[in-house]
């Protein structure tokens, strides 16, 4: 280090420590302590020092995560300890059989203790650390040999470049899964869509594709993560006695360990763990395809050993597949509330993601072109959670000779008006407006929906009958329906007809946000409707607002402002509103407070930990309504911190700084006191 003064060296080491700490807080613990700008400032300072003194640029420097020069190919890595695969169980019975088999083999009288862990849907990797420094990353490959992806793994922030310990093992091989969280996957595909690039089929393919990049600068742009799940080898330090202790050791050394890992005292608890995770699978930030169970006691693991290429002491209980193959039988075109004509795939029924799927959206013409799909094709269908099933790809090898092209209609399949494709939009629209009965039906369904006027008993089928029989053509007609008219409809007796009339009557009393949402203005969802209502206070004031005034509303950009403005310029829309009011639909105006006089104006609030009664987005919106700014990290400028369950370092920092704290109950009380609940 001839070029380095001791002051520069000390400063660089201090910056390493700070940056590693903050990177771990952000990427591993999901609990940032400082704002991004402050992190960037520290990073720039280190880059500056390294530019002045190149020998400071060591392999474990936090600056080395941006990727290096492109490679011409990947080297082969021979795994010292083979990377095995896992046996699968597809039912509770198969899991119970597994437990019985190994309990018998061990001649154990006591129930076996297991570690339960979600099985992430990503790419298995091995990371080698020598004396605490990351020296190699490799893919699993065929288990015996894989590919050297060191340059790429270095770009992943949740992988420590240096272990967080002053006494590292001389050799450590950590195994785990590199995956792409769903939010990162969506973002990547959104960007690809914008520039007309090919989309990734699912997060696993996107993770695999990102790791296969010869140019690690590209990998560095992908928000990959790694969760460590086991050891390949470890030398020079004492081995823990259990698998759970091993995971905790890896966590202390700086690895991300899945936060849902649990110890189960017997196989029955393993079954409950599976049921619990299956329940929350759709709310997790990343795809999981099952649960892995491992015998916790490492001495017992050793006694059990391996069969063929899988350990006897572990098993993966798989969830129902989220992707399956089926055939595209036909394509039909549906017309939505705003006239969008959507191609819908009619599929040979297939069991996927826990339900039988026979329809899937094909979105629009661009998507049909992108998929290169034809009627008769064999396709891969994906259904994750409650998300609408989607055709993700075509199996071209299976295309039959008589496969036929999907032709978009040039006239609306319902009202026969011409369809048009607006420049800059991916969708085709029916130009029929309210003469199109499909659009009218959808507008009425939206008006009656739970978050709009919440008309109980007015379901989709009933709306279709009402429109088809000419009893309702606009939402205000609903309020003039007579008992005899309703009682004469299919599956409607006098009792349900009377109930519907009562529900219609009750729906007249509503709120301004609900009413605005019910109008079905393009791009105005529930949250925007609430913002508009709170900003303008009355329908009159909103109706007469200018584009500039609309742009002043929080979360309203130029596109939304344009749609809102245009909606209230249309005489038809104003007439419908007027008829609704004549029919008795009413609400109270909201007292508009100027931003300066709101109860929390001028204050900066921070939310930390999980709340039971609402999500973070909702809590943030409510605080903003009260005039507060909501920040992501605690500083001297913070006015108050709301603490949910498992609050971490933000709480510690707030206590250090003596900042006012509110628990969930007190927060709810405050929202109630200000009419936000």
Q: Looking at the annotation, which residues are catalytic?
A: 119
Q: What sign for the dihedral angle of Cα 432, 436, 442, 447?
A: positive
State which residue, 261 or 504, has the beta carbon closest to ligand I6G: 261
Minimum distance of ligand I6G from residue 119's CB (angstroms): 5
Residue from 26, 39, 185, 229 touching ligand I6G (CB under 6 A): that is 229
300 binds ligand I6G (CB under 6 A): no
Asked if 21 and 72 touch (Cβ cutoff 8 Å), the reply is: no
Q: Which residues contact 531 (CB under 8 A, 6 or more apart)?
A: 553, 554, 555, 556
State which residue, 39 or 293, has the beta carbon closest to ligand I6G: 293
- Spell out a b/e string for 234-270, using b for 16 or more CB atoms within 10 Å of the CB, else e: beeeeebebbbebbebbbebbbbbbeebeebeebebb
Minimum distance of ligand I6G from residue 122's CB (angstroms): 9
Asked if 383 and 355 touch (Cβ cutoff 8 Å), the reply is: yes
State which residue, 50 or 177, has the beta carbon closest to ligand I6G: 177
**CA distances, 334 to each of 389, 392, 504 (Å):** 16, 20, 28
Binding mask 462-501 vs ligand I6G (x if CB under 6 A, - otherwise)?
Answer: ----------------------------------------
Q: Choose one: 2-10, 116-124, 442-450, 616-624; the region binding ligand I6G (CB under 6 A).
A: 116-124
117 binds ligand I6G (CB under 6 A): yes
Minimum distance of ligand I6G from residue 84's CB (angstroms): 4
Minimum distance of ligand I6G from residue 232's CB (angstroms): 10
**615 by DSSP, 3-state: which?**
coil
The long-range contacts involving 555-563, CB below 8 angstroms and separated by at least 24 positions, are: 555/527, 555/528, 555/531, 556/528, 556/531, 556/532, 559/523, 560/523, 560/524, 560/528, 563/521, 563/522, 563/523, 563/524
How would you class 489 by CB atoms within 10 Å of its CB: exposed for 0-12, middle for 13-18, buried for 19 or more? middle
- Rounded Cα distance between 305 and 163, Å, is 29
State which residue, 86 or 180, has the beta carbon closest to ligand I6G: 86
Sequence length of the chain is 677
Q: Which residues contact 326 (CB under 8 A, 6 or more apart)?
A: 347, 348, 349, 350, 357, 378, 379, 381
Binding mask 73-102 vs ligand I6G (x if CB under 6 A, - otherwise)?
Answer: -----------x-x----------------
Residue from 292, 375, 427, 462 touching ligand I6G (CB under 6 A): that is 292
State which residue, 292 or 651, has the beta carbon closest to ligand I6G: 292
State which residue, 114 or 479, has the beta carbon closest to ligand I6G: 114
Angle separating helix axes 203-211 and 182-194, nearest 10 degrees: 80
State which residue, 314 or 659, has the beta carbon closest to ligand I6G: 314
Asked if 634 and 650 touch (Cβ cutoff 8 Å), the reply is: yes
Minimum distance of ligand I6G from residue 229's CB (angstroms): 4
Q: Which residues contact 178 (CB under 8 A, 6 or more apart)?
A: 122, 123, 125, 153, 156, 207, 211, 224, 225, 226
Minimum distance of ligand I6G from residue 296's CB (angstroms): 13
Minimum distance of ligand I6G from residue 289's CB (angstroms): 9
Minimum distance of ligand I6G from residue 176's CB (angstroms): 8
Minimum distance of ligand I6G from residue 463's CB (angstroms): 48
Task: Give the distance, in angstroms, between the CA of residue 83 and the centroid of all CA atoms in the same chain.
Answer: 30
204 binds ligand I6G (CB under 6 A): no
State which residue, 314 or 347, has the beta carbon closest to ligand I6G: 314
Strands (E), 142-243: 145-147, 171-179, 225-235
**CA distances, 28 to each of 199, 232, 252, 285 (Å):** 28, 21, 11, 14
Q: Which residues contact 490 (CB under 8 A, 6 or more apart)?
A: 465
Most distant CA atoms of the chain, gap in Å: 96
State which residue, 86 or 419, has the beta carbon closest to ligand I6G: 86
| Per-state percent for the chain, helix, strand, coil, to nearest 5 | 40, 20, 40
- Rounded Cα distance between 516 and 511, Å, is 9
Q: Choose one: 48-56, 117-125, 278-286, 626-634; the region binding ligand I6G (CB under 6 A).
A: 117-125
Restricting to residues 118-177, name those near ligand I6G by CB under 6 A: 119, 124, 177
Asked if 42 and 19 touch (Cβ cutoff 8 Å), the reply is: yes
* Closest by CA position to 216, among listed 162, 125, 141, 154: 154
**93 by DSSP, 3-state: which?**
helix
State which residue, 117 or 664, has the beta carbon closest to ligand I6G: 117
Residue from 230, 322, 428, 507 touching ligand I6G (CB under 6 A): that is 230
Minimum distance of ligand I6G from residue 352's CB (angstroms): 22
* Residue found under tokens 């608890």: 269
- 89 - beta bridge partners? 317
Residue from 314, 341, 430, 436 touching ligand I6G (CB under 6 A): that is 314
Minimum distance of ligand I6G from residue 126's CB (angstroms): 11
State which residue, 122 or 339, has the beta carbon closest to ligand I6G: 122
Concatenated DSSP letters of 37-56: HHHHHHHHHHHHHHHHSGGG
Plot region of 21 (φ>0 → left; ψ -120 to 50 → alpha; else → beta): alpha
Q: Which residues bind ligand I6G (CB under 6 A)?
A: 84, 86, 117, 119, 124, 177, 229-230, 292, 311, 314
């Amino acid at each position: 280090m001839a070029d380095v003064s001791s002051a520069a060296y000390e400063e660089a080491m201090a910056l390493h420590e700070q940056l590693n700490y903050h990177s771990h807080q952000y990427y591993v613990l999901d609990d940032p302590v400082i704002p991004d700008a402050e992190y960037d400032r520290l990073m720039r300072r280190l880059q500056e020092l390294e530019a002045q003194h190149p020998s400071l640029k060591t392999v474990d420097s936090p600056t080395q995560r941006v990727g290096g020069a492109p490679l011409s190919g990947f080297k082969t890595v021979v795994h010292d300890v083979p990377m095995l695969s896992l046996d699968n169980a597809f039912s509770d019975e198969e899991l119970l059989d597994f437990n019985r088999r190994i309990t018998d083999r061990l001649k154990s009288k006591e129930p076996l203790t297991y570690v339960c862990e979600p099985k992430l849907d990503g790419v298995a990797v091995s990371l080698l650390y020598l004396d605490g420094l990351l020296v190699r990353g490799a893919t699993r490959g065929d288990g015996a040999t894989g590919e050297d992806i060191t340059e790429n793994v270095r770009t992943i922030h949740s992988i420590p470049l240096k272990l967080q310990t002053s006494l590292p093992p001389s050799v450590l091989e950590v195994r785990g899964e590199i995956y792409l969280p769903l939010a990162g996957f969506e973002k990547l595909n959104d960007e690809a869509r914008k520039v007309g690039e090919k989309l990734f089929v699912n997060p696993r393919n996107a993770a695999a594709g990102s790791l296969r990049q010869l140019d690690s600068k590209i990998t560095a742009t992908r928000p990959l993560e790694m969760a460590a799940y086991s050891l390949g080898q470890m030398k020079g330090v004492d081995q823990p006695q259990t698998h759970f202790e091993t995971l905790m050791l890896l966590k202390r050394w700086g690895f991300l360990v899945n936060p849902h890992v649990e110890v189960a005292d017997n196989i029955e608890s393993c079954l409950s763990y599976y049921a619990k995770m299956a329940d929350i699978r759709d709310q997790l930030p990343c795809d999981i395809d099952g649960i892995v169970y491992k015998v916790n006691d490492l001495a017992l693991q050793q006694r059990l050993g391996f069969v063929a290429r899988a350990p006897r002491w572990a098993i993966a209980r798989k969830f129902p597949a989220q992707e399956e193959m089926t055939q595209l039988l036909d394509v039909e075109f549906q017309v939505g509330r705003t006239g969008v004509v959507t191609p819908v795939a009619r599929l040979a029924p297939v069991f996927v993601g826990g339900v039988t799927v026979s329809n899937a959206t094909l979105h629009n013409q661009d998507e049909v072109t992108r998929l290169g799909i034809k009627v008769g094709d064999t396709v891969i269908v994906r259904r994750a959670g409650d998300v609408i099933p989607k055709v993700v790809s075509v199996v071209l090898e299976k295309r039959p000779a008589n496969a036929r092209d999907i032709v978009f209609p040039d006239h609306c399949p319902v009202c026969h008006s011409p369809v048009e494709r607006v420049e800059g939009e991916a969708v085709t629209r029916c130009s029929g407006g309210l003469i199109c009965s499909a659009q009218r039906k959808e507008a009425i369904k939206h008006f009656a929906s739970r978050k709009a006027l919440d008309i109980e008993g007015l379901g989709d089928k009933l709306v279709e009958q009402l429109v088809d029989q000419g009893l309702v053509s606009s939402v205000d007609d609903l309020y003039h329906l007579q008992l005899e008219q309703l009682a004469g409809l299919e599956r409607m007796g006098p009792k349900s007809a009377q109930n519907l009339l009562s529900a219609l009557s009750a729906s007249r009393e509503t709120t301004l946000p609900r009413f605005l949402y019910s109008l079905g203005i393009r791009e105005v969802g529930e949250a925007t409707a609430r913002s508009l209502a709170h900003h303008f206070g009355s329908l009159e004031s909103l109706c007469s607002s200018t584009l500039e005034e609309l742009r002043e509303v929080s979360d309203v950009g130029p596109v939304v402002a344009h749609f809102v403005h245009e909606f209230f310029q249309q005489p038809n829309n104003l007439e419908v509103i007027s008829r609704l009011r004549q029919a008795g639909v009413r609400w109270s105006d909201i007292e508009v407070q100027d931003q300066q006089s709101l109860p929390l104006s001028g204050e900066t609030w921070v939310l930390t930990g999980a709340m039971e009664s609402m999500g973070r987005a909702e809590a943030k919106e409510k605080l903003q309504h009260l005039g507060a700014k909501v920040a992501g990290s605690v500083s001297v400028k913070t006015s108050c911190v709301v603490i949910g369950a498992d609050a971490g370092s933000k709480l510690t920092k707030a206590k250090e700084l003596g900042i006012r704290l509110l628990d969930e109950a007190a927060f709810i009380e405050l929202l109630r006191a200000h009419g936000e609940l």
